[in-house]
Amino acid sequence: MAVPAGEVAFREALRAKGLRVTPNRLRVFRVLSRHSEALTTPQLVTLLIGEGLNPATVYRMMQQLTQAGLVHAVMVGHEHIGYELQSPYRAHHDHFICEACGRTFDLAECGLEEAVVRLAERNGFQVTAHHAELHGLCPDCQIAGRTGLRDGSAEAP
Ligand SMILES: [Zn+2]
Ligand SMILES: [Zn+2]
Ligand SMILES: [Zn+2]
């Protein structure tokens, strides 16, 4: 099997963060690199079924990888947390969360870098990365005339 792009760098980054390069961490990396959308812990467990990973293991691993800055946690729907690879393993992008249907969208272009860096510098901070989370109504919900927060009983389409 071919080694996915970025895996060599990912292995090096694990070592640099003091994390061992384990088969499970590489499995998670491969699954994440095959999906453009953020994956929740249950989704990761389902996708890695038969590989001996249980939800607790995956949950712990994702927390470690998030802390190490290798993956990024993003809200999926109104109450779930999904994970996706962090740049440089994945191109930088920000997120839009629809308040009506709860879906999370990747925004193709950023254009915020300069503005956020200026804002941070004015406040005395040095920026190494940013993640913007915009909230509002997605195109589908605008067309359907939906507004604001859903009642929480319906699942996202
Ligand atoms: Zn929507
Ligand atoms: Zn994303
Ligand atoms: Zn951005």
Of the listed ligands, the closest to the CA of 71 is 2
Asked if 35 and 46 touch (Cβ cutoff 8 Å), the reply is: no
Which pTM value belongs to this model? Answer: 0.79
Average pLDDT, the chain: 87
DSSP-based three-state secondary structure for 111: coil
Supply the pLDDT for residue 4: 66
Going from the N-terminus, what domains does the chain have, and what CATH number goes with each?
A: 1-86 (1.10.10.10), 92-157 (3.30.1490.190)
pLDDT digits (tens, 9 = 90+) for 109-125: 888 888 989 999 999 99
Ligand 1 centroid to residue 141 C-alpha, Å: 4
Supply the pLDDT for residue 126: 92
**φ, ψ dihedrals at 64, nearest 5°:** -65, -45
More confident position, 121 or 52:
121
Q: Prior bond to 88 cis, omega within 30?
A: yes
Query: Cα–Cα distance between 140 and 157 in angstroms, integer?
Result: 11
Task: Tell me the chain's radius of gyration from C-alpha atoms.
Answer: 17
Average pLDDT, stretch 25-35?
Answer: 93
Ligand 1 centroid to residue 120 C-alpha, Å: 31
Query: Cα–Cα distance between 144 and 155 in angstroms, integer?
Result: 16
Query: Cα–Cα distance between 72 and 84 in angstroms, integer?
Result: 5
Strands (E), the chain: 39-40, 71-76, 80-85, 94-98, 104-107, 133-136
Ligand 1 centroid to residue 27 C-alpha, Å: 32
Ligand 3 centroid to residue 57 C-alpha, Å: 30
Asked if 104 and 97 touch (Cβ cutoff 8 Å), the reply is: yes
Of the listed ligands, the closest to the CA of 93 is 3
Ligand 3 centroid to residue 135 C-alpha, Å: 14
pLDDT digits (tens, 9 = 90+) for 128-138: 888 899 999 99
